[in-house]
Amino acid sequence: MTERKVLVVDDEIHIVHVVAIKLRNNGFKVISAENGAEAFQLACQEKPDIIVTDFQMPLMTGLQLVQKLRATEQTKDVPVIMLTARDFAVEDEQKENLRISEFISKPFSPKELLRSIEDVLYQRQLVTEKQ
Amino acid sequence: MRFARNLHLTGSRFVNRCKMATPVTAVLACALIAAGTAVCSYSGFGEYWRLFGLVCSVLGAVGVIWLGWYSLRLVEAITSIAQKIADSGSAERIENEKLNVIRYPLSIVKELTGTITQQLDSYSEHTAELEKHLEDLQIHFRLSQRQKSNTEAIIYSIRDAVIVIDESDRLSMANNAAARIFNFDLNNAQHKPIDELICNDQEDQARRQFVDFLLQGRRSKVRGARHEIVLNISESTEAKTFDCIVSCVYDHSEQVCGIVAVLHDITREKELSQMKNDFVSHVSHELKTPLASINAYSEMLLDDEAADEQMRKEFCSVIQNQAKRLNRLIEDILNISRIESGLIKIEKQPLSLTILIEEQYQMIKSYAEEKNIEVIRQKPIVFDQVYADKDMLSQVIVNLLSNAVKYTKSLGKVEVETQVNEIEKTVRLSVTDTGVGIPEDEVAHVFDKFYRVGANKSQAKGTGLGLNLVKQIIEKVHDGSVFVESKVGVGSTFGFELPLAAAVASAAS
């Protein structure tokens, strides 16, 4: 089975680090970025199977990153999980338009994040097999 | 009514007696004239009878003349009495006057004048009462006018806009604030239809909604209803938010006779509320971020996900650092609260600014080096000692230094210097960077609590508390002053001025 690739995006280096260790310990390949611009470039180059991104980041927010991904042919279908410490919820309409698979609020459990990533990838696999 | 009855009675008696006397005299006179004439003209009578007839005629004529004279004098008497009554204008008793008339029937005339004067007295009294009543009414009217003027003056001077419309949806009253907000001429606005006055053919949806709200309120007889309205005031381009409360005006028969609307400017409250919400949201995010690391690394340790002992130590170190970071943030928030409420413990001592700068530079040194930013610390010529709380002043300096580094791009420069003014006995510390700069319209707000420069929000993290804490410490606790100069794309200079320790000491002594 091909190693699945995860792009982790967060301006908090410690978060990126802990998520990377957890995922690597569970057989994932991890690439990371500290901001949206860097993340977009990596997404186009590396074509990750899934992107885990923070909501609030300098220069380009998580939502802006996803908007850009959905507007680009090569990245429009990549599943996205969003981490957020914000106390307001993103509107359902926005979630639907941007096709964000899941919102996980901070502080989060690395175990649960891993479970969510595996669920999303499994669902994606089922859809791909049906097609 | 009584007067008319009395007059009628007296007049009737008078007329009845006159009726009796005058016709008798008239008949007698006429009879005498007729008899006399007959006797004189009948040739069968002798001379003496003719003479007798002549005498009867003469007597009859005298009787007629006397009757005429009597009638004339009566009329004169009545006229004179009436004139005297008209001239006197008071309750003077006319019957005491010596009227130059025949005595009979003076008693009737007396009765007549008595009744008239009695009634006139009554009318005079009544007139006096009415005059007094009129005077009272005039006084009340003047008082009411004054009260009305006072009330209007109060309403006109209220900062909130007040608009009163009547049952025909026309303007009944408005104050200067209302005229200013809706841009109409107060002198020409009375009784104009309210939608014409406020909407004024403009397409402004907000004004249309406000008018509809007013009219709806009057028709539904609302006792009190609220509506928030955002209006563009003509004198400025900034939109303002108003809280509008309308209430029906009821007359004495509990019918709606109009509606009064009061508009209170809540723009500032809205801004503050928004800033507070932003602050709470931001602080929540800032607090949750280190918590997220603490939580994640703790779980990793518990699940034995650390590959080796070194990694375990690394995890524990992160947990510890993040806990400290959390603590610092909470302290910042608490310090500001404490300073504002005057609860903080202050311990002032003579301190050298240069030494403090060096100490705090060490705190941000690694951060500056990561970004390749040079931090130049100028050494002053004159000893720059101030009388201050060490922890607080250290906080101020580290905040200014870290801000300078945070908002300066890589390979930039930060320069710190102190200048002593020996004449003013003050020392000025300034931190100049080659960073992004602050727009002119935002410079005045940078020291406000929670305030973050819009354009720079995405540049770096911050709670918007750092500079406010600097301001509170320098101004509130140390009687100093903060300053800022900035140019977008060039950089900023932040700093403060404090009295020299020597000056403080001499002032104390």
ipTM of the complex: 0.93
CA dihedral B248, B251, B253, B256 (to 10 degrees): -30
Give the global pTM: 0.56
Do B293 and A14 make contact, defined as CB atoms within 8 angstroms? yes
CATH number of the domain where residue B484 is located? 3.30.565.10
**Does the beta carbon of B292 lie under 8 angstroms from any beta carbon of chain A?**
yes
- Compute the count of residue pairs across chains A and B with CB atoms less than 8 Å apart: 69
Instruction: Write the CATH number for B327.
Output: 1.10.287.130
Q: Is A4 in CB contact (< 8 Å) with chain B?
A: no
- Residues B418/B398, Cβ–Cβ less than 8 Å: no
What chain A holds in terms of domains, given with CATH numbers, is 5-130 (3.40.50.2300)
Residues B375 and B493 grouped into a single domain: yes
Selected residue of B285, B287, B304, B324 to mutate for chain A interface (largest A Cβ count, 10 A): B285
Per CB-CB distance under 8 Å, the chain A contacts of B284 are 85-87
The number of folded domains in chain B is 4
What gap in Å lies between CA B63 and CA B76, rounded to an integer? 19
Nearest to A25 among B288, B289, B305 (CB): B305
Each of the 509 residues of chain B gets a pLDDT tens digit; together they read: 565 566 556 556 655 565 556 667 777 777 877 777 777 777 666 788 888 888 888 888 888 888 888 777 777 777 776 676 666 654 445 555 544 444 545 566 677 777 777 888 888 899 999 999 999 999 999 999 999 888 888 887 888 999 999 888 899 889 999 988 888 888 888 888 988 888 876 667 888 888 888 888 877 777 778 888 887 765 566 788 889 888 888 888 888 888 899 999 998 888 888 877 877 777 787 788 889 999 999 999 999 998 899 999 999 999 998 998 888 788 878 887 788 777 778 899 999 999 999 999 998 999 899 889 999 988 776 677 899 999 999 999 999 999 999 889 889 999 999 988 888 889 999 999 998 888 888 888 888 876 667 666 556 666 667 898 899 999 989 999 999 999 988 999 999 999 988 777 777 76
Q: Which of B105, B125, B145 is the last residue of a domain?
A: B125
- Do the Cβ atoms of B219 and B246 come closer than 8 Å? no
Best of A12, A13, A18 to disrupt the B interface (most B CBs within 10 Å) is A18
**Same-domain status, B396 and B306:** no
CATH number where B204 lies: 3.30.450.20
As a whole number of angstroms, the distance between CA A74 and CA B116 comes to 119
Judge: A86–B285 Cβ closer than 8 Å, yes or no. Answer: yes
> Do B71 and B210 belong to one domain?
no
B289: nearest CA partner in chain A: A85
CB contact under 8 A, A58 and B460: yes
Q: Do B313 and B335 belong to one domain?
A: yes
How big is the CA angle at B482 (ends B480 and B487), to the nearest 5 degrees? 160
Task: Tell whether B364 and B504 lie within a shared domain.
Answer: yes
Are B427 and B421 in contact, with CB atoms under 8 Å apart? yes
Domain boundary among B323, B341, B359: B341
Give chain B's count of helices (H) and strands (E).
13, 12
Nearest-neighbour CA in chain B from A126: distance (Å): 30
- Pairing type for strands B256-265 and B239-250 reads antiparallel
Asked, for residue B183, whether it belongs to a domain, the answer is yes
- Name residues whose C-beta falls within 8 Å of residue B59's C-beta, 6 or more positions apart in sequence: B29, B32, B36
Residue B241 φ/ψ, nearest 5 degrees: -105, 135
Distance, CA of B448 to CA of B482 (rounded, Å): 12
Point out the domain boundary residue: B246, B265, B284: B265
Cβ atoms A56, A84 nearer than 8 A? yes
Identify the domain containing residue B240 by its residue range: 158-265
